[in-house]
Structure 1
Amino acid sequence: MPQRKAGMSQKFGRFMLRLMGWKLTGELPNEPKLMVILAPHTSNWDFILAVSVLLALNLKVSFMMKKEAFFWPFKNMFMNFGAIPIDRKQATDVVGQAVGWYRDHDQVWLGITPEGTRSKVYSWKTGFLRIAYDADVPVMLVGMNAPEKSIIIDKVVRATGNHELQAEEIRQYMNDKFVGINPQNQ
């Protein structure tokens, strides 16, 4: 698993989880390359919780950001935190850029919220499955259960190639099992 250097950030992550009253359950897979999806994504608090979990576990999970955000003085901070600059105007699509990023690294996890927004959606974007399928990496499902204040490392699946059907199956599974902070947006 890609990990950060142990230190104060791990203690800070654990402190933040305790302060907010959240707990983490489940077991992390020992995979060098992995797609991590967190759902349901219904609140800005999801990011704060996710960062707290990553820090508490010393995990380095990368995420995509538009390349325009990578300017001084923020560029190094974003890069150190695991951000991947994505050129949304480049001829290569975002999926292709992410697949290339996986191929260029030996040990990386990429985190995505498949809804693509905190607002209510009736279907998920399929990019996370297209990336996982083309890069041949497993997908770890991580659920948020707000009423119990728990984040659950649930299970690992493989992208089948039938992206629309599988995205809907995973969406239904996650929505049936987990409840977001703002359930009306689920």
Structure 2
Amino acid sequence: MAALADAMKLTLGLLFKMQGWRVHGPRPAHPKFVLIGAPPTSNWDFVCFLGAAEALDLDLSFLGKSSLFRWPLAGALRDLGGVPVDRSQALDIVGTMATEFARRDNFILTIAPEGSRARRDRWKTGFYNIAVAAEVPIVCASIDFPRKLITIGPTICPSGDYEADMKEVAVFYQASVGKHPERASTILQETSSARLSELNPVS
């Protein structure tokens, strides 16, 4: 199973480059962090993020419904980086992931902050709560689908004040364009284009 997972990751990396995709920004140096990729407006956006991770030689882990981790998929999903969770128990997920970070020397957990490919009024806060509980930074990655570009952006050390920390994140994701832009979610419910202009004035 591990050989199959490695082959799949290698294939994703090759397809990423063959299709003309590029990665802009440095490879994150932290051994442990939460990686958020946005906006995930389609399955293709997620595939492109995985291709970028392979191009950067990042060994990602991701959350998956516990019901999927059964024979014959369980072994392959774990080899690909899957971590089984019961998504109906949000607090348990935060605690489980904090424990997972604590017991590993290297752990990169990737999460789609919207929690869905459909448009939402605001991002879910699970990724942030996990980073706070695990005391690890959050690395931002954005997609520009028309330009075939994945950008590695700012690293946020969460202060515990979600609204304040997400203001910097909101500015970074202004230029992000998924495959289906109309499905992109608002990061903060009260964030508007005018407010973002105030946060990031043009000199």
* Fold-level similarity (TM above 0.5): yes
Give the aligned partner of residue 181 of structure 1: 179
Query: CA contact under 8 A between 1:124 and 1:171: conserved in structure 2?
Result: no
- Where structure 1 has 5 or more consecutive residues not aligned to the other structure, the ranges are 1-6
* Identical-pair percentage: 33
CA root-mean-square deviation: 2.2
**In 2 relative to 1, CA 95–175 (structure 1 residues): closer, same or farther, beyond 3 Å?**
same
Larger Rg: 2
Once the two structures are superposed, the pairs formed by residues 119-130 of structure 1 within 5 Å of their partners are 119-130=118-129
1:93 partner amino acid: D
TM-score normalised by length of structure 1: 0.86
C-alpha distance in structure 2 between counterparts of 1:90 and 1:129, whole Å: 16
Deviation, 1:9, is: 5.8
1:34 aligns with 2:33: yes
68 and 25 in structure 1: CA distance in 2 versus 1, 3 angstrom threshold: same
1:57 deviation in Å?
2.8
TM-score after normalising by structure 2: 0.80
Number of residue-to-residue matches in the alignment: 180
Note closer, same or farther for the CA distance 1:139–1:72 as it changes in structure 2 (3 Å cut). Answer: same
**SS in structure 1 at match of 2:116:** coil
- Deviation of 1:69 (Å): 0.7
Per-residue Cα deviation, 1:145-170 (whole angstroms, up to 9, x for no partner): 11211001112111110124434x25
Shift of 1:28: 1.3
Deviation digits for residues 127-179 of structure 1 (CA, Å, limit 9, x no counterpart): 11111111110110001011211001112111110124434x25632441211
Change in 2 beyond 3 A, CA 1:38/1:103: same
Alpha-carbon contact 1:142-1:154 (below 8 Å) kept: yes
- What do residues 71-107 of structure 1 show as CA deviations (whole Å, max 9, x unaligned)? 1111111111110111345695211111111112111
1:146-165 correspondence to structure 2 within 5 Å: 146-165=145-164
